[in-house]
Structure 1
């Protein structure tokens, strides 16, 4: 029977933004069904997003996609609108603004949606495969979701 494994993603800072590096980081949880794994992945993503309280928000979408300023402008506009409607705050500096000091679950979901990323990845392992980031190059793994992958070294608290 296949196992569905949630792997923690990590980030690498490029002096401008956080970028993805590797396919799979630390194993967070192992499930027998994809539905269980998806539900827990959402919970883990919310917790990780809440840990970003007070961080510079633009570092998570600064010129994403090879310095695509259109993408940056679109995400900034979404953030600007959300800050105004949810927190009654106006972002005064386009090049630097922080996530709120407190982020509830619903707000975390909105931020994850705007940013378009996840802190975790679900990988399906066959019966004979060991779910471990150490054997990821040797094992034949198939990514269950189309997510960007991250190395965990840089930001352990996420």
Structure 2
């Protein structure tokens, strides 16, 4: 008896490719989604573009007053769900403000410079009209301030 390892792909009746021994991917009519249906930055991946991704940091911010700090009256806590804004710090050494192309969507930030590229999925939906960006040339850092989209409770 041959040594066969079973995995989740072996569930169900064997396909024609399994019987023929082919390892090439053939679209199965039982697929849950197609590649075209996968959204959210998949279009950003450009294997021909060899620019590196810069270092970045996402800081979640919230307004806290004394009533929150000492008495806990507002119900805010340290979780990311209580944040009101996002600060994205991106290291861009030796970059001029005119070289930066920044595009912010509700859940995706795209940055391109002659030296770097960055496609970043944001942890929360943001209000694209209320954001601002500032390049600090002496520090070599771009800071993008984004306001979290307000959640309506009905």
TM-score range, shorter chain: under 0.3
- Of Structure 1 and Structure 2, which has the larger fraction of its residues in strand? 2
Q: State TM-score, norm by structure 1.
A: 0.25
Q: Tell me the TM-score normalized by structure 2.
A: 0.26
Question: RCO (CA 8 Å, sep 6+): is it higher in 1 or 2?
Answer: 1
* Structure ID, larger Rg: 2
Which of the pair is proportionally richer in helix? 1
